[in-house]
Amino acid sequence: QPATMFSSLMFPVLFALLFTTHIIWRRFSSIRTLRSLPGPALTHWIWGNEMELHSSLPGETYAYWSKIYGQVFKFWGVFGTQVICVTDRVAVAQILASERFRFPKPAGARAWFKSISGKGILYVEDKEEHARQRKMIAPAMNFQATKAITPKLFDCAKELADSWELCTKTDADSVAEIDAAWWATRYSLDTIGKAGFSWNLSSMTKGHHLAATLDSLTNTEGGFAAFAMRALVWAFPSVLQIPSAKGKMIQEARLQLRNVSQKLWNDSKNMDKDGDKSLLTLMQEADDLDDEQAVTHMATLISAAFETVSASISWVLYEIAQHPEIQEKLREEVSTDEDPDFDTLHSKFPLLDAVYKETLRLHSPVLELHHVSSKTQTLRLGAPLQGSTKNEILVPKGTVLVVPVSVIQTDPEVWGPDAEHWKPERWLGKRDQDLHGKADFLAFSMGPRVCPGRLFAEAEIKASCLINVLIIVLLRMFSFECVQPIEPFQSFVVRTKVVGDKTSSLPLKIKRL
Ligand code: HEM
């Protein structure tokens, strides 16, 4: 009957109308609240300014806009949403540290973490639940635990060095061209496996499907589909569920990460734990960890460590290959007969430490930190907004804020006029202490959600440098250089790629001395 049909349709239509009106009203009221903020004009009705961000090198457009519009400005996201870009350190410290839980990760970022590794520590935003999860993984991340696994890192690094040596043996001049980025990902996966979970993945020697899947996830980030997904996810987190090629790859990565974690967790129940200080043993000893939580933690830690550490190793190798004089000085600094222990690693190699920090400063794997305002609230600023005397701004509920790490870490006011250049010397002396607790070095973020893998990542990268690049095999036996121009490539983290290519790589020429 038409009358019954009309009344059964009326409710959903009315609901849809009200919902749309509510969204439009919120959008306009947010635009009105933020109108005093400077920023670029809208360039596309659907994509806002996202295309400009996508078509430039990672971080380049943020740096350009920051020069024009200052330390707090707005730009357009998809479908008329507005995003606030913040480099003002007082505001950054509120977002990341003092008021962190009022500025949680946006639904889009959480959906991404959930789709890759489940509802683990990268996903949770409830303060108590976060503290509980952090407490659970803390013993595995602390100084003692890191110290205990350092020798295992050297084992992995030596395996990599042996493989490189093999590559040069087939050439009369003992020269080989290798893709150091490929090796860095395998090394990274093997070390987190061995050191974290006493698990011999052997992806460097035998290959492993998890490494190949994680590579594919990275290397599909260049195209339009990946851009669209990345741009839309802030407004529509469910875009990750669309059955696209990219969506399938995400599901495959999640499945493999979980399968591997599940198997390790099950095997570990019968493992001989005598003297073993791996993350796995420490997790087994925790009272309040059920199987599902353990698997989620493991998948989270593997993906968090794999992405960031492998990208950092590539950048360290790239910069050392580009700077033969520093390569030489490093070789001298680290040329000892014995593998240094953890304490020596942290205290006796100032140049190595400086190389590591300078690389993370100039090539932070995490390009930007995204947050969202959980309610309409005031953000205090260290300096007035450009073209105004206002020392604070009102941030409407639901507004996404982005902290571009690369802009902060290359700010000439802090780092000097040579901020864009790779100069490890800047860390020698007092620079390290000067920066303690400040929002000027954010490669590991700051505040209650600072990266807990910090010590581990340092040990791992240093071991790689010491063994592969510097001490026994590479520096004593090989010289190495970059053979093609390299530029940053934005995937989940910022990686190396040959200029013009669409996938991540780092071709290095190594020659036996
Ligand atoms: C050079 C290496 C690394 C860099 C640059 C790095 C960077 C970061 C950053 C920026 C965050 C904050 C992310 C956000 O708030 O959205 C983070 C969080 C995290 N990282 Fe790392 N990371 C590195 C290595 C590692 C390693 C080796 C592990 C584990 C073994 C790890 C485990 C984690 C975890 C569990 C979190 C979540 C912390 C929380 O939410 O409380 N990271 N990392």
pLDDT in tens, 149-165: 777 778 888 888 888 88
Per-residue confidence (pLDDT) for residue 281, from 0 to 100: 77
Per-residue confidence (pLDDT) for residue 46, from 0 to 100: 92
329: exposed, middle or buried (C-beta count within 10 Å: 0-12, 13-18, 19+)? middle
Q: What is the mean pLDDT of the chain?
A: 83
Q: Which ranges constitute the DSSP H helices of 323-450?
A: 324-334, 342-347, 350-362, 405-408, 412-415, 431-435
- Alpha-carbon distance of 480 to 320, in angstroms, equals 9
Instruction: For 157-191, give the DSSP string.
Output: HHHHHHHHHHHHHTSTT-EEEEEHHHHHHHHHHHH
Per-residue confidence (pLDDT) for residue 462, from 0 to 100: 42
Q: How many CB atoms lie within 10 A of CB 279?
A: 22
Does the structure show a pLDDT above 90 at 431? no
- Alpha-carbon distance of 426 to 362, in angstroms, equals 12
Half-sphere exposure for 503 (CA within 13 Å, toward CB):
11
Per-domain boundaries in the chain: 52-512
- Please state, for a pLDDT cut of 70, what percent of the chain lies above it: 84
Closest listed residue to residue 27, CA positions, set 4, 48, 58, 13: 48
Closest listed residue to residue 317, CA positions, set 177, 180, 215: 180
Strands 400-404 and 82-86, by their bridges, are: parallel
> How far, in Å, are 84, 348, 367, 387 from residue 73 at the CA level?
6, 43, 18, 11
pLDDT grade, residue 171 (50/70/90)? confident
User: For 174-201, what is the mean pLDDT?
Assistant: 85
The protein residue whose alpha carbon is closest to atom 39 in ligand 1 is: 449
pLDDT tens for each residue of 312-351? 889 989 999 999 999 889 888 877 767 777 777 777 788 8
Per-residue confidence (pLDDT) for residue 438, from 0 to 100: 60
User: For 340-367, what is the mean pLDDT?
Assistant: 85
- Alpha-carbon distance of 123 to 151, in angstroms, equals 32
Q: Please, what is the Cα angle at 367 between 365 and 370, to 5 degrees?
A: 125
* 280 neighbors 197 (Cβ within 8 angstroms): yes
CA of 354 to the centre of ligand 1 (A): 20
Q: Which element (helix H / strand E) includes 318?
A: helix 291-322
Per-residue confidence (pLDDT) for residue 128, from 0 to 100: 92
Q: Which element (helix H / strand E) includes 507?
A: strand 507-512
Q: Which of 85-94, 117-126, 205-214, 388-397 has the lowest mean pLDDT?
A: 205-214
Q: Which element (helix H / strand E) includes 300?
A: helix 291-322
- For residue 322, give both structure tokens: 């580009």
pLDDT grade, residue 470 (50/70/90)? very low
**Pocket probe mutation, ligand 1, options 293, 451, 494, max atoms within 8 Å of Cβ:** 451
pLDDT tens for each residue of 46-68? 999 999 999 899 999 999 999 99
For ligand 1, residues with CB inside 6 Å are: 121-122, 134, 300-301, 304-305, 308-309, 312, 365-366, 369, 443-445, 449, 451-453, 456-457
pLDDT tens for each residue of 481-502? 998 999 999 888 899 999 989 8
Instruction: For 87-149, give the DSSP string.
Output: --HHHHHIIIIITGGGS---HHHHHHHHHHH-SSTTT---HHHHHHHHHHHHHHHSHHHHHHH
- Alpha-carbon distance of 174 to 12, in angstroms, equals 73
Give this complex's ipTM.
Answer: 0.97
pLDDT grade, residue 467 (50/70/90)? very low
- Alpha-carbon distance of 363 to 463, in angstroms, equals 19
- Read off the pTM: 0.90
Closest listed residue to residue 103, CA positions, set 116, 80, 118, 86: 86
The protein residue whose alpha carbon is closest to atom 21 in ligand 1 is: 451
Per-residue confidence (pLDDT) for residue 28, from 0 to 100: 63
Indicate the Cα dihedral angle 394, 400, 401, 402, nearest 10°: -160
CA of 366 to the centre of ligand 1 (A): 9
Does the structure show a pLDDT above 70 at 111? yes
CATH C-level class of 52-512? mainly alpha
CA of 138 to the centre of ligand 1 (A): 13
**Pocket probe mutation, ligand 1, options 135, 143, 301, 308, max atoms within 8 Å of Cβ:** 308
CA of 122 to the centre of ligand 1 (A): 9
Minimum-distance ligand 1 atom for the alpha carbon of 109: 16
